[in-house]
Chains A and B, each alone.
Chain A
């Protein structure tokens, strides 16, 4: 089925460890995003890639890096995990054609705990 695939679904890290969250979409979307979701707060944008070859910081980029490997794949890396990065992470993709298309699709989420 077409969509956004995120891996892993669950992860526990120790403080200071590193890891990469993987995201791939097969809808030929141009834009991809990483969000985090914390209790009592709306989804917050970490980084985004408006198109292949570009990445930009969102609201909460500190402690993260991203790579837009190709049009399909957009990975999020935690270089040195901290307990404050315990959250649920969502990858999403979208493509708007003249503002008419609504195509915005989310992955199923990664629940990350840093101890």
Chain B
């Protein structure tokens, strides 16, 4: 079993829909990251969370440390949101800010 699991693996939505991507992890963590990878391959960091909730534009990320679960929400989705969304955790036991990654969720938003 992977330390970081994401669901769903693939998600197709219509423009304007509210989207939720989930991430569950099995280790104690000091931080959780949400990343976005566009079709061109580049990876961009969206959020780093250690508790609670963060919002940036139409993106909202939440984390429940007790339940070892995080969600990424996209409101009013748009075709330009189509990308792979990756959850990554920094274990309490690792040094050097190492991350363990989920396999990613492929999101496609149709016009």
Contact = CB atoms under 8 A, between A and B. Distances in A.
A74 B87 CA distance: 25
A104 B102 CA distance: 16
A96 B48 CA distance: 11
Nearest to B46: A102
Contact of B42 (A31, A40, A109): A109
A90 B104 CA distance: 16
B13 interface: no
A21 to B, nearest CB: 15
B42 A45 contact: no
B31 interface: yes
Please classify how large the interface on chain A is, using the bins under 10, 10 to 19, 20 to 34, 35 or more.
Answer: 20 to 34
B102 A102 contact: no
Interface in B85-111: 86, 88, 95-104
Interface string B41-67: 111110110100000000000000000
Most chain A CB within a 10 A radius of its CB, from B31, B86, B88? B31
A106 B44 contact: yes
Interface in A61-115: 88, 90, 92, 94-96, 99, 102, 104-106, 108-109, 111
Contacts of A95: 97
Interface string B18-44: 000000000000110101000001111
A54 B48 CA distance: 25
B41 A104 contact: no
B40 to A, nearest CB: 8
12 contacts: A31-B97, A33-B98, A40-B103, A43-B88, A45-B99, A49-B96, A50-B95, A94-B97, A99-B31, A102-B33, A106-B44, A109-B43
B50 A106 contact: no
B43 A90 contact: yes
A105 B97 CA distance: 12
B12 interface: no
Contacts of B86: 42-43
